Every structure is written in structure tokens, then in C-alpha cells.
Amino acid sequence: MKRAAIIGCGTIFQVHLPIIVANPEIELCAVCDNNPAVQEKLPAAAKAVPFYTDYEELLEKEHPDVVHLCFSQKTFTPWEAKYSDTDTCR
């Protein structure tokens, strides 16, 4: 079973979450958003796993096999530059 995390809990998150939860070969292991207030509004499946406001802490503690990046392209570019040459972004 693959462990998946989601970083970014906005509109795109709402599309990714049900797909992850419906797949019996994937376990949602954590979600992350830089806005802690988002946690209160998460669906039950996302509230059942650890919530982080720091994606580096999530990666360090949860060791997901897959990370869904559900945030704007402006935010993604610096993140990709940092991790694109590692297994973290493959």
C-alpha cells in the first residue's frame, strides 16, 4: 500500500481527496496547508490523519510515498526547484 500526503487544502484538494480515499491501494497519511484555520473545515477523511502547516515537517515525520501538490503554480515553482532532483518529487 502506498502512503499519500496532500499539500494544499484548497479547491484542487477537493478533487484529489476523494480519488485517494476511494483507492484501496492508497492510504492517506497526512495533509498540509500553511493556513491552520483550514483544518477546521476539512472533510472527515482528511481530519482522520495528521495535519501540518509545514510541509517539511510532514515529509520528515510521515515519509509519504506520494505527495499531491494541490496549490497554485506560483507556489509550486520554488518547491519543485528544491525537490525536483530528489526522490521526493518523483
CB proximity list for 23: less than 8 A, separation 6 or greater: none
DSSP 42: -
Interval 27-66: pLDDT, tens = 999 999 999 999 999 999 999 999 999 999 999 999 999 9
Tally the C-alpha atoms within 13 A of residue 26's C-alpha that lie toward its C-beta.
19
Banded model confidence at residue 69, pLDDT cuts 50, 70, 90: confident
Q: Name the pTM for this structure.
A: 0.82
Interval 6-35: pLDDT, tens = 999 999 999 999 999 999 999 999 999 999
Grid coordinates representing 73 are: 503554480
Contact 55, 32 (CB under 8 A): yes
Contact 10, 42 (CB under 8 A): no
State the CB neighbour count (10 A cutoff) for residue 6: 26
The pLDDT score that the predictor gives to residue 88 is: 47
- How far apart CA 48 and CA 76 sit, in angstroms, is 26
